[in-house]
Amino acid sequence: MQAVVFDLDGVLTDTADYHFKAWKNLAASIGIQIDHTFNEQLKGISRMDSLERILEYGGRSNDFTLIEREQLAEQKNEEYRLLIASITPRELLPGIASFLRELKDEGLKIGLASASKNGSSILERLHIADNFDTIVDPAKLSKGKPDPEIFRTAADQLNLLPSECAGIEDAVAGIQSINGAGIFSVGVGVPPEAKADWNVNATAELTLGELMAHFKAKK
């Protein structure tokens, strides 16, 4: 194994809750109520695709023009950006700082495969941007998760084969994307149906030793 490719929201930091808050308020402003159960479906899904799912859930798919939908997505993003403005390194999820250090010490490459267009600025705020050898630009992708494109692109950008990488995700769509790319998948708190190669309950369980052992066992 030569690289680990990370999802951001829900793996490096708990922005998943900020996304939920911002979507909940946006949905409520157009008469749609969403809860945590529905929110699970939005994890890993791009901004516009998330909006489409919310409109469909509320039976309002045909009520807005493309321009209006873009404005709604922008409204959500404005609230989200206010929520993430005060993120500090303290909001790194447990174990992530030491795990990143272990990877660096062992000379492994580190990549980011997040659907978020706010990804780079969040890495800066968490003070971990320097650890990343590559960041996939989600604006350049033709398909979002669960399509494998984003994780395959991360491996390409690192000049590695998918079989030389591991990917870490907290969303079912993300695990499907990693598996489809032919990368070893690690699920953080994802249901077993997602079929991750290795499941942990929380980021605190991530160590290079454990990851290597599971990675080798699959070969």
- Contacts with ligand G6P, residue ranges (CB under 6 A): 9, 19, 42-47, 50, 77, 114-118
The stretch among 8-16, 71-79, 95-103, 186-194 that binds Mg ion (CB under 5 A) is 8-16
The answer to whether residue 9 is catalytic is yes
- In 52-88, which positions are buried (b, 16+ CB within 10 angstroms) versus exposed (e)? ebbbebeeeeeeeeeeebeebbebbeeebeeebeebe
Calpha distance 174→147 (Å, rounded): 9
Annotated ligand binding at 177? The verdict is no
Q: In the complex, what is the shortest distance from the CB of residue 163 to ligand G6P, in angstroms, rounded to a whole number?
A: 24
12 near Mg ion, rule: CB under 5 A: no
**Integer angstrom CA distances of residue 134 from 116, 119, 153, 160:** 15, 12, 10, 12
3-state secondary structure at position 44: coil
* 120 annotated to a ligand binding site: no
9 binds Mg ion (CB under 5 A): yes
From the list 20, 111, 165, 170, which residue makes contact with Mg ion (rule: CB under 5 A)? 170
What is the closest distance, in whole angstroms, from the C-beta atom of residue 60 to ligand G6P in the complex?
19
Of 118 and 134, the one with the shorter C-beta distance to ligand G6P is: 118
Contact 42/205 with Cβ under 8 angstroms? no
24 annotated as ligand-binding = no
197 is catalytic: no
CA distance 87 to 135: 20
Active-site residue set: 7, 9
- Annotated binding site: which residue ranges? 7-9, 23, 42-47, 50, 76, 114-118, 145, 169-170
